[in-house]
Structure 1
Amino acid sequence: GEATVPKVTVITRKAYGGAYDVMASKHLRGDFNYAWPTAEIAVMGAKGAVEILYRSELDQPEKIAARTKDYEDRFTNPFVAAEKGFIDEVIQPRSTRKRVARAFASLRGKRLTNPWKKHDNIPL
């Protein structure tokens, strides 16, 4: 989180909760954040979230399955994250190398300094 080097992230699969945040996300000053269309970006996985939110319906598997599908459709796709500004762009897997190379080329002269502090407070 305190690195001053260029930070480029490509989310290819699952990025949930705090693990997503600390992996060079926009929340920790990541420079470029891309995601593949298959990426899942959410607070937590659909199954776990539904089991917490709708625990009173756990004895009804059909309802739970429908709620899980709804959660996946509404929250775990990268387009929702892109809409909110957490991802710069949803890219096709075949263009990943070109996009990452272009991002690093644009960051070649990046200069960033953190304020001096006696003791660091890395995000834990």
Structure 2
Amino acid sequence: MKTLLTGIVFFFVINTFHAQTKDKQSSIDFVTVLNDNHAETLYYYQNNWKVLREAAMKKDYIESYELLEIKPNEATPYSFILITTYANQNQYDSREIHFEELIQASGGLKLLNEKTPNDFRKVIHGQDNVKHW
């Protein structure tokens, strides 16, 4: 009886974990730095993008995020990879509303040297609705 109960619990734990994993979705952006404006780009992502995601995690609007930096080359002509992961379809579907709320509450963009995002960075590829298996 004890073995049967252990097996049933194990089955439900595994199935719950699998269901949670397959419901996850991510948005991924690959960003190149324009005109040697690395400092402005990094400042922007650390003081805007990252801050918004930290606030989104506290409100359970997203599951996680990653701000990654690599050295660009011919094969990978981007410097930053931005990943936002949503735990489920509801978080993903509500992302625009939730981030608009957080942007409004943030008090506006923080910029270095008064350069706007179009001056210092370009998203060379963005991919939404990336499923986790």
Give the strand-richer structure, 1 or 2.
2
State the structure with more CA Rg.
2
Q: TM-score, normalised by structure 1?
A: 0.29
Which structure exhibits the higher relative contact order, with contacts defined as CA atoms closer than 8 Å and separated by 6 or more residues?
2
| TM-score of the aligned structures, taking structure 2 as reference length | 0.27
